[in-house]
């Protein structure tokens, strides 16, 4: 049995420095050495998980196969490592405290006083260890937030203790900080990094490696200064410069020698095979075509709300040797009079998931525009439901069609809450959603889907049964299935028991590519293995464009 080694990634100065990308990139480089690697995220906020948080607050909610609603950084982990994450790869302070309080109520502390140390810190350590397996070589653990935040102190104390518990040879601390460049003085400033490391050391953690986010590479003199004031060796201070695209980060870290330093300190064997990352970046940097996709959503004010979608579209472009430009369209801005203005120059239109009725009428307009203009269209989750509503209103003769989510008293609820289905599967469903009352009526995680042999879906996947991740409450109302089919809508994917509509489409003789799915395929797309639906969507969008000019 291997003794897993641990890399703890902390951040200082300010948030959004990119700890998740840093951890994912280091993990990718270690995996490229042939090592068995995984990553865990510890978030200090008190929510049990991000499931009930607004996308404007915390970006997208990423969903794992086992139905965990997680921080978007787990999407980075999966995309860079190419391995699925699970509930064990993410813990919040709320979840840790919930475990501690439940144990106290059950009398498991034998009447003792429950304290942050040792009870909360012990639970954090147990959570970290739970993410390991007997075969795992390295577990990277990203501590959310910024050093100095009051809520992150129990997590930092726990990882401090682990070094004593496991031994110095099995633990490594990496601290990511900011070295700002002041244009007025024409020089980078190391003082924020010095203060951040001082704060970390006051908590008992001496970083082994310091990574400095900056606009420009650090000079040897500046590295020496940081090393001196932060009590690390000069060859343990690295630049983490801004790059053109996020998939350059592993190569930039390798050029800096970060992975080699990690390997030496933890005594890890092997040399990294970075050729796949080199080829990936060559393809990203040398597209033969360009395509513009309109993302019509309700959370477009914050790009992180659709992080996995952005990446999946990029991956779909990679498979077609195309650069994908994403134009965000606020669904609330769409009106019948301005559709051409907002949607006219697009090569394809995508309507993503979401909750609530805000912006839905704009999404329905986008679906109708794409259907009537024969523009490639991809509806995901709520986007698929908008396709159903639009088709029911304007083709199937149900002008009052809507979703039960938007109007529980509507005459034609073509989308509804399928309570019978949830009742029949209550035991499995409750296991997936026990941590969230609002999630109790949601279908979360991976479920199977069987594809019709002649469908666009089967053409994309090239297999009869697939498994995809869900995050929604409402389903297609099967009472309208016959009417919709007679009106021309095709159902290319159903649950194995034929109770749930998973995918719909229009025949290719009527539309070049018009497809909707109830699940979230973007969660399973990686740069090394683009998702087939995004590949075919981009392919269809490119097919409607003029042939590339000679200069391309």
Q: Compute the Cα dihedral for 94, 65, 283, 258 and give only its sign.
A: positive
Active-site residue (options: 76, 119, 511, 520): 520
Angle between helices 73-81 and 307-319 (to 10 degrees): 20
Residue 230 is a catalytic residue: no
Q: Which of 248, 252, 311, 522 is catalytic?
A: 522
Return the structure tokens found at 164: 């004593």
The neighbouring-strand residues paired with 541 are: none
The DSSP symbol for 341 reads: H
Residue 71's contacts (CB-CB under 8 Å, 6 or more residues apart) are 20, 41, 43, 50, 58, 59, 62, 90, 144
Exposure letters 433-462 (e unless 16+ CB within 10 A, then b):
bebbeebeebbbbbbebbbbeebbbbebbe
Q: For 69, what's the count of Cα atoms within 13 Å in the CB-facing half-sphere?
A: 28
Which residues are within 8 A (CB) of 153 and not within 5 positions of it... i.e. 6 or more apart? Answer: 203
Pairing of strands 289-297, 348-351: parallel
CB 293 within 8 A of CB 50: no
Helix axes 249-256, 19-31, angle to 10 degrees: 70
Active-site pick, 212, 381, 449, 517: 381
Active site annotation includes 381: yes
**Is 340 an active-site residue?**
no
- Full 3-state SS string of 183-237: CCCCEECCHHHHHHHHHHHHCCCCCCEEEEEECCCCCHHHHHHHHHHHCCCHHHE
- Tell me the angle at which helices 19-31 and 73-81 cross, rounded to the nearest 10 degrees: 20
Which string of b and e fits 331-358 if b means at least 16 CB within 10 Å?
beebeeeebeebbeebbbbbbbbbbeee
Instruction: Return the DSSP state at 168.
Output: G
| Helix ranges restricted to H, 233-329 | 249-256, 258-266, 275-285, 307-319
Q: List all residues 6 or more positions away from 108 whose beta carbon is below 8 Å from its beta carbon.
A: none
| Structure-token match 């932060």, residue found | 230
Indicate the pairing of strand 187-188 with strand 377-380.
unpaired
CB-based contacts of 490, cutoff 8 Å, min separation 6: 452, 455, 504, 505, 506, 507
**Number of Cβ atoms within 10 Å of the Cβ of 16:** 11
- Structure tokens of 244? 């053109």
Q: Which of the residues are catalytic?
A: 381, 520, 522
């Amino acid at each position: 049995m291997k003794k897993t080694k641990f890399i703890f990634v902390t951040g200082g100065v300010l948030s959004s420095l990119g700890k998740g990308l840093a951890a994912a990139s280091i993990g990718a480089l270690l995996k490229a050495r042939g090592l068995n690697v995984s990553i865990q995220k510890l978030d200090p906020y008190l929510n049990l998980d991000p499931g009930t948080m607004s996308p404007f607050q915390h970006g997208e909610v990423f969903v794992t196969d086992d139905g965990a609603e997680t921080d978007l950084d787990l999407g980075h982990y999966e995309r860079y490592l190419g391995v699925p994450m699970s509930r064990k790869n993410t813990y919040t302070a709320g979840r840790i405290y919930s475990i501690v309080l439940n144990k106290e109520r059950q009398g498991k502390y034998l009447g003792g006083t429950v304290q942050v140390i040792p009870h909360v810190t012990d639970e954090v350590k147990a959570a970290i260890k739970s993410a390991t397996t007997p075969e795992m070589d390295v577990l990277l653990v990203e501590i959310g937030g910024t050093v100095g935040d009051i809520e992150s102190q129990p997590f930092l104390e726990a990882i401090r203790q682990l070094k004593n518990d496991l031994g110095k040879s099995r633990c490594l601390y990496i601290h990511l900080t900011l070295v700002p460049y002041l244009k007025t003085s024409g020089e980078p400033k190391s003082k924020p990094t010095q203060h951040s490391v001082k704060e970390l050391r006051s908590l008992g953690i001496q970083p082994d490696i310091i990574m400095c986010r900056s606009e420009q590479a650090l000079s040897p003199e500046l590295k020496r200064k940081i090393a001196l004031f932060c009590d690390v060796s000069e060859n343990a201070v690295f630049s983490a410069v801004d790059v053109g695209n996020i998939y350059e980060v592993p190569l930039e870290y390798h050029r800096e020698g970060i992975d080699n330093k990690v390997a030496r300190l933890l005594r890890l064997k092997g040399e990294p095979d970075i050729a796949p990352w080199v080829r990936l970046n060559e393809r990203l940097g040398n597209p033969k075509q360009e395509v513009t996709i309109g993302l019509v959503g309700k959370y477009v004010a914050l790009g992180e709300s659709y992080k996995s979608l952005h990446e999946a579209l990029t991956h779909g472009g990679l498979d077609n040797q195309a650069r994908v430009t994403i134009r965000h369209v606020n669904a609330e801005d769409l009106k019948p009079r301005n559709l051409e203005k907002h949607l006219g120059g697009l090569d394809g239109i995508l309507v993503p998931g979401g909750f609530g009725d805000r912006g839905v009428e704009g999404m329905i307009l986008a679906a109708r525009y794409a259907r009537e203009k024969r523009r490639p269209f991809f509806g995901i989750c709520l986007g698929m439901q908008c396709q159903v509503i639009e088709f029911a209103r304007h083709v199937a003769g149900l002008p009052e069609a809507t979703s039960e989510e938007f109007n529980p008293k509507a005459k034609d609820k073509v989308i509804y809450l399928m309570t019978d289905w949830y009742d029949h599967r209550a035991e499995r469903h409750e296991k997936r959603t026990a941590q969230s009352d609002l999630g109790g009526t949601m279908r979360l995680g991976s479920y199977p889907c069987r594809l019709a042999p002649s469908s666009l879906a089967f053409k994309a996947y090239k297999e009869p049964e697939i498994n995809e991740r869900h995050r929604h409450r409402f389903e297609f109302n099967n009472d309208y299935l016959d009417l919709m089919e007679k009106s021309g809508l095709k159902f290319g994917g159903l649950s194995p028991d034929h109770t749930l509509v998973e995918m719909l489409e229009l025949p290719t003789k009527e539309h070049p590519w018009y497809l909707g799915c109830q699940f979230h395929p973007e969660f399973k797309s990686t740069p090394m293995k683009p998702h087939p639906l995004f590949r075919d969507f981009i392919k269809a969008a490119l097919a409607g464009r003029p042939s590339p000019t000679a200069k391309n």
